[in-house]
Every structure is written in C-alpha cells, then in structure tokens.
Amino acid sequence: MNKLQNALKINALFSGISGILLIVINQQIAKIFGTNNNTLFWIVGVILIYFALTIWYEIKRQRKLAVIWIIIQDYTWVLGSIFLIIFKPFQITKTGSLVIGIIALIVLYMGVNQMINLNKTTIDNT
C-alpha cells in the first residue's frame, strides 16, 4: 500500500468512525452542542459513512480526479467549520465550537496529507 492509499485509509476510517458515533450517540453529542435537536447529527453521520465508503472505493482505484474531489470535500468541511466558528449562525456552545475546531484541524491535516501524497504518486488521470 502506497502513501496515498494510507492517507486515504486514515480519512476513510476517521470519517466512518465519526459517522457511526454521530448516529449512535447523537443525543449526547447534541447536548455538547447545546441543542435538543439531534436530527442534524444523524444526517451528518449518514453522509460521513457514505463519504467513507467512497474513499474506500478510491483506495484501490486511485483515480486522480476522484482523489482531488475527496480533497476538495475535506477542504470544504474545513471552510464550513471556520464559518461556523467565526460567524456563529447557530447557538453552539463553546465546547461544541471547540470540537468543531479540533475536527477541522484533523480534516485539514488529512486533506493536506492526501494532496502531498497525490502529487508524489503516479496514478490514472481519470
């Protein structure tokens, strides 16, 4: 397994585990964020599991455009997180904002790591 595959595997594992946690302990997570509405956490959990599955698919195939799309999605997550922290469009607790920031840093690391390893790997350009 090359370094790009390892970087993608880390992202898939992190996304999948995060998605499962958001679904399984959604009520506890909602409390951390200061809300009783746990629907959003279910939705994000399902989306993260789907995202993880698409990454697993690309670990073997390693199509350049698909990997770039994964990286773009990671960076979009980070930008969305920054927006939530700075502009506070919802009543998120300080602890919730801290969790968002920590996860954004992890996702940023994964995106950068994937980008670096994509540039070092010779793969199919489709």
Residue 75 phi, psi dihedral angles, 5° rounding: -65, -35
- Residue 122: the pLDDT is 76
Q: Give the count of domains, the chain.
A: 1
Give domain status of residue 30, yes or no.
yes
| Full DSSP string of 48-96 | HHHHHHHHHHHHHH--HHHHHHHHHHHHHHHHHHHHHHHH--S---HHH
- Residue 124: the pLDDT is 62
- Residue 62: the pLDDT is 86
Q: Digits of tens for pLDDT over the chain (126 positions)?
A: 699 999 999 999 999 999 999 999 999 999 999 999 999 999 999 999 999 999 999 998 989 999 999 999 999 999 999 999 999 999 999 999 999 999 999 999 999 999 999 999 877 665
Query: Which helix (H) or strand (E) segment is 27 a member of?
Result: helix 26-32
- Residue 126: the pLDDT is 56
Of 51, 50, 28, 26, give the one whose Cα is nearest residue 40: 26
Q: Is the dihedral of CA 99, 104, 110, 116 positive or negative?
A: negative
Give domain status of residue 94, yes or no.
yes
Give domain status of residue 125, yes or no.
no
> Which domain does 16 fall in, by range?
3-119
Question: What's the pTM value of the predicted model, to 2 decimals?
Answer: 0.93
Give domain status of residue 55, yes or no.
yes
Residues 50, 76 contacting (CB under 8 angstroms): no
